[in-house]
Amino acid sequence: MKKFAFYLAIIVICFSSNLYSQNTIEAPKGYSTQIGNMVSMLEDLKARVTTSVVNLNQNEVDFLLDDDANRIGAMILHLAATEKYYQLYTFENRSFNNEENETWLLPLELGEPARNELVNKPISYYLDIWDEVRKETLRLLKTKDDKWFNSKVKNSSMNNHWAWYHVMEHQANHMGQIRLIIKRAPKN
């Protein structure tokens, strides 16, 4: 009975402190059904990633698990860059132009150049950039309907739904990496 009470207390604490996701997928007001469901999932994942990292100190943000790993801050910027790319790809049928490459290519590709350059910035720096990209994603998705969502991306075999599914599952994959790195980072 003591074990049951302990687990029940843990569950109550987790749910009351919002450690778990929203528990429902519903289209927010102003979005078509399928797009709104995707928005609900994207927002849930972003909230869970943000909750995982928002209180990290600079050593944790910049920690490298090994010589081939990426820093947590760089991965957050990578999520923003990927989302920005898919905004352009699905809404404008193009990839980054030269000016956008200057801003987004480094975090999109990650690797050694990103390990060297994306460092010494607080987690809020990366989260603020992702917030701005997400605001634009939400604005753009609100202008489309489910017919557009199910249509093919120009000159591609994928449809818009699959493209945004990819953004979502990409975030989920990196959420796992980020949480692993947080567990391995030395605590100060």
- Encode pLDDT of 55-109 as tens digits: 999 999 999 999 999 999 999 999 999 999 999 999 999 999 999 999 999 999 9
Q: What mean pLDDT do residues 109-114 have? A: 95
Across the chain, mean pLDDT equals 90
Hey, how many other C-beta atoms are within 10 angstroms of the C-beta on 45? 20
Q: With a cut of 50, say whether residue 152 has pLDDT above it.
A: yes
CA 68, 69, 75, 77 dihedral sign is negative
Cβ-proximal residues to 172 (8 Å cutoff; 6+ apart), any chain: 45
Does the pLDDT of residue 20 top 50, yes or no? Answer: no
Q: Check whether 22 has a pLDDT greater than 90.
A: no
Chain centroid offset of residue 115 CA: 19
- Provide the β-strand partners of residue 152: 159
Please tell me the distance from the alpha carbon of residue 105 to that of residue 110, in angstroms, as a whole number: 8
**What confidence score (pLDDT) does residue 155 get?**
87
Mean pLDDT of 104-124: 96
Contact by Cβ (8 Å): 71, 121: no
CA 57 to each of CA 3, 61, 110, 123, 182: distance values in angstroms, whole numbers, following the listed order: 35, 6, 21, 8, 11
CB 56 within 8 A of CB 50: no
Backbone angles phi and psi of 66, in degrees to 5: -160, 180
Domains and CATH numbers, the chain: 33-184 (1.20.120.450)
Give the whole-angstrom CA distance, residue 168 versus residue 88. Answer: 16
The predicted structure's pLDDT at residue 16? 46
User: 78 near 174, Cβ under 8 Å?
Assistant: yes
Contact in structure between 161 and 51 (CB atoms under 8 Å): no
Q: Which tokens hold the place of 62?
A: 């910049």
